[in-house]
Amino acid sequence: MGMSTHIQGFKAPDEKWKAMKAVWDGCEAAGIEPPEEVSDYFEGETPDERGVEVNVSDTDYCKEWSDDYRSGYEVDLRELPSDLTHLRFYNSW
């Protein structure tokens, strides 16, 4: 089994996120599945309180990086979109 490294960016919750989260929470409280549109919006996962997930990997400001003995990602902080509030780096197996 191999390990992979990932980066997620997050924008603060906007009005659409808040509305979708309200529907998600209402369905959860009622013990029913959320509508497909809401489930698709959150990609079938419990909504993350950080907000709207943004693709960060392999953008102009985030590139894979390696040398002879190491590999990972390099993020040019000067180029990050100003509306990103959080970056999450994680490994999965």
Residue 77 lies in a domain: yes
What's the domain range around 23? 9-92
User: What would you measure as the largest C-alpha separation in the chain, in angstroms?
Assistant: 54
Question: Is the pLDDT confidence value at 23 over 90?
Answer: yes
Mean pLDDT, residues 44-65 taken together = 89
The pLDDT value given to residue 79: 93
Kindly state the percentage of the chain with pLDDT values over 70. 100
**Model confidence at 58: pLDDT above 90:** no
In a domain, 1, yes or no: no
Residue type, 29: A
- What is the phi/psi pair of residue 23, to 5°? -65, -45
Is 2 among the domain residues? no
Rounded Cα distance, 23 and 30, in Å: 11
Residue 3 lies in a domain: no
> Is 80 inside any structural domain?
yes
pLDDT at 1 over 80: no
The confidence score (pLDDT) of residue 27 equals 97
Q: Examine the pLDDT at 30 and tell me if it is beyond 90.
A: yes
Asked, for residue 4, whether it belongs to a domain, the answer is no
The Cα 59–Cα 9 span in angstroms is: 11
On whether residue 62 sits in a domain, the answer given is: yes
Domain membership flag for residue 35: yes
Question: Per the structure, how many domains does the chain have?
Answer: 1
Place of tokens 């990997």: 57
